[in-house]
Amino acid sequence: MQKRCLAILEDGTLNKSVSFSKEEREKLGLRGLLPYSVETQDTQVQRVMDGIRRKGFDIERYILLSSLQERDERLFYKVAIDHIEEIMPLIYTPTVGQASKEFSHIFRSPKGFYITPDDKGDIETILENWPENDIRIIVITDGQRILGLGDLGANGMGIPIGKLALYTACAGIPPHQALPVMLDVGTNNEELLSDPLYLGYPHKRLEGQAYLELVEEFVQAVQKKYPRALIQFEDFLTPNAYGLLNTYRDRILSFNDDIQGTAAVALAGVYASSRITGRSFVDSKVMFLGAGSAATGIADLMVAAFVNEGLSLEEARKRLWFVDSEGLVVASRTDLRSHNLPYAHEAIQSNFIDAIDSVQPHILIGATGAPGTFTQEVIERMSVLNEHPVIFALSNPTSKAECTAEQAYTWSNGKAIFSSGSPFGNVNYNGKVFRPGQGNNAYIFPGLGLGAIIANASIIPDELFLVAAKTLAQLVTDENLQEGALYPRLTEIRRLSIEIAIAVAEKAYKMKIARDEKPSNLKKYIEEYIYHPNY
Ligand SMILES: NC(=O)c1ccc[n+]([C@@H]2O[C@H](COP(=O)([O-])OP(=O)(O)OC[C@H]3O[C@@H](n4cnc5c(N)ncnc54)[C@H](O)[C@@H]3O)[C@@H](O)[C@H]2O)c1
Ligand SMILES: O=C(O)C[C@H](O)C(=O)O
Ligand SMILES: [Mg+2]
């Protein structure tokens, strides 16, 4: 039955507030419930932007936007799409980091789906409580490694909510087809456990077999109710991130964004950097600071890319070097995890600076969660070794970046080609304005996910990440590079995501992993599928 009167204004998917026309007000029983003026959606966008700009703190802006998302979904997405450069840092990194830390304190009304160990055996049943029947994309976290902020338990729900808002804003996934999931298995964060307002399962983390069984039960429930849904694993602690990736990558439509999405965005940036440095990718030597899931994910995709260009596996791996909190990753070390072993070269263990001197990398990629680790000495060494050192400070949020954009440009005398996981504003150095690109998986996952959904792929093999990386790199313009950015402007993100989606879907059809027939006009099909927030 069609909703009427207040029920319409209280339904965020139907509400358009003062944009209801006089005729609609008459027909829907809204006369008397709204002020006189009938406004366009653009005028409402203006009012929201004024409200955002009037606030003193980003966390208040986050709360305002979160309430808007509930109250008037289309207006929320219209604001996000039309002002993406201003809004993305408020609904995503860095503000989503702070919002996650404070989640239990700023909580107003629930969004998304929660699973705890108490739900064991019932997940299929409780999933029936979710009102939508056609979920296409799920972002799930267990909150144990939220950005570089550590174990935030159930407070980590901010991340799936934020990632899915980007799926809609950046790639047009219809919001009712997206499901944020918190796998709340407890937290080992004592501060949260002793916080009387903490909303999560107030116990130490479930681990081992019981944990894996809960994930498996969830995956099976999803397969049953939402067999087309793509599951994106997000912000799991590295051992679980790899464990779950290895369990599910060849079995279901899924990927780990921190390992694989990050890999594609970094590889795209590295490809684009060749056009400035003049050094081809295949001749590049890369040093990673940090040897966790993000850095190793990048290296693994780079190996696949090198091998595609004709190198042997061994030659490929030899171009990639890691330094972690214990120093250079070398074969003689006994503390390494299995994902490090392919990159544990025969060399003498050393500290970071000595490793730079001995390896002489062209590209430096930080994924440590440890701020300030790209010191002046590090940037200066890289600048002595390279005319244009390529520097990625990927750790999020901004407070965890290995260095700031300003430091990278200043310490390299304006020579660095710099990208960061969280946004930095333009930097004026010696009269030249640099626009640092944002090396964040947000350039990849929306388009990749859209492509996988469109093809209804059965799995997401590395080839799909490679094609996404190549497509993104090709979309970087000379103008972007002249500004100093290895990535296009975010204002282009919807167009970029569609290009990535087309390339990914095409590849899926070619590899015969698509479960749906290829439409006669793929681009038109995608354009008809995607969500537009206009009233
Ligand atoms: N930009 C992006 O798109 C993106 C994507 C994924 C992850 N990240 C960021 O990457 C960071 C790391 O994530 P992860 O999942 O790889 O974490 P992780 O815990 O798996 O890895 C961290 C690594 O950094 C090393 N490390 C820590 N402190 C160090 C120090 N002072 N010196 C040298 N090495 C140090 C650790 O030894 C470990 O190898 C996080 O801050 C996350 O936000 C960014
Ligand atoms: O969430 C982000 O901004 C990127 C990435 O997935 C991360 O975990 O840091
Ligand atoms: Mg992440």
ipTM: 0.99
Tell me, rounded to whole angstroms, the distance of Cα 429 from its chain centroid.
Answer: 30
> Which CATH number is correct for 91-252, 3.40.50.300, 3.40.50.10380, 1.10.10.10, 3.40.605.10?
3.40.50.10380
Cα separation, 446 vs 452, in Å, equals: 10
User: Quick check: 324 and 343 in contact, CB under 8 A?
Assistant: no
- What's the CATH architecture for 276-442? 3-Layer(aba) Sandwich (3.40)
- CA-closest candidate to residue 397, choices 375, 379, 424, 416: 424
Q: Is 247 helix (H, G, I), strand (E, B) or coil?
A: helix
3-state secondary structure of 199: coil
pLDDT at site 1:
62
Write out the binding residues for a divalent metal cation: 234-235, 258
Active site residues: 92, 163
Buried b (16+ CB within 10 A) or exposed e, 161-183: bbbbbbbbbbbbbbbbbbbbbbb
- From the CA of 236, how far away is ligand 1's center (Å)? 12
Does ligand 1 lie within 6 Å of residue 368's CB atom? yes
Task: Phi first, then psi: give them for residue 141, nearest 5 degrees.
Answer: -135, 160
Query: Which residues, 6+ apart, have CB-to-CB distance to 314 below 8 Å?
Result: none
Q: Are 320 and 302 in contact (CB under 8 A)?
A: yes
Domain ranges of the chain: 6-80, 91-252, 276-442, 444-529
Cβ atoms of 92 and 86 closer than 8 Å: no
The per-residue pLDDT for 2 is: 82
Residues counted in the chain = 535
Q: What is the pLDDT along the chain (535 residues), one digit of tens a residue?
A: 688 899 999 999 999 999 999 999 999 999 999 999 999 999 999 999 999 999 999 999 999 999 999 999 999 999 999 999 999 999 999 999 999 999 999 999 999 999 999 999 999 999 999 999 999 999 999 999 999 999 999 999 999 999 999 999 999 999 999 999 999 999 999 999 999 999 999 999 999 999 999 999 999 999 999 999 999 999 999 999 999 999 999 999 999 999 999 999 999 999 999 999 999 999 999 999 999 999 999 999 999 999 999 999 999 999 999 999 999 999 999 999 999 999 999 999 999 999 999 999 999 999 999 999 999 999 999 999 999 999 999 999 999 999 999 999 999 999 999 999 999 999 999 999 999 999 999 999 999 999 999 999 999 999 999 999 999 999 999 999 999 999 999 999 999 999 999 999 999 999 999 999 999 999 999 999 999 999 9
Pocket probe mutation, ligand 2, options 265, 365, 396, 443, max atoms within 8 Å of Cβ:
396
Phi-psi region of 424 (alpha: psi -120 to 50; beta: other; left: phi over 0): beta
Distance CA 378, CA 19 (A): 55
- 289 CB within 6 A, ligand 1: yes
| Distance in angstroms (rounded) separating the CA atoms of residues 498 and 490 | 13
148 C-beta closer than 6 A to ligand 1:
yes
Distance in angstroms (rounded) separating the CA atoms of residues 434 and 427: 5
Say yes or no: CB of residue 184 within 6 Å of ligand 2: no
**CATH code assigned to 444-529:** 3.40.50.10380
Predicted pLDDT at 24: 97
Q: Is residue 60 within 8 Å of 102, Cβ to Cβ?
A: no
d(CA 345, CA 447): 35
Identical topology for domains 91-252 and 444-529: yes
Check if the beta carbon of residue 99 is closer than 8 Å to that of residue 91: no
Residue 345 CA to residue 317 CA, distance in Å, equals 9
Q: Which amino acids are annotated as binding site for (S)-malate, given as ranges?
A: 145, 396, 440
Cα 395 to ligand 1 centroid, rounded to whole Å: 6
Name the nearest CA neighbour of 86 among 423, 404, 403, 421: 423
pTM of the model: 0.98
Distance of CA 418 to the CA centre of its chain: 19
DSSP H helices, 177-325, are 190-193, 208-225, 238-248, 262-277, 293-308, 313-318
Residue 141 Cβ inside 6 Å of ligand 2? The answer reads: no
| CATH class of domain segment(s) 6-80 | mainly alpha
pLDDT at residue number 4: 86
Alpha helices in 72-207 (DSSP H): 73-82, 84-91, 95-101, 103-106, 123-127, 158-171, 190-193
Strand-pair category, 417-420 with 427-429? unpaired
For residue 445, report the distance from its CA to the centre of ligand 2, in Å.
11
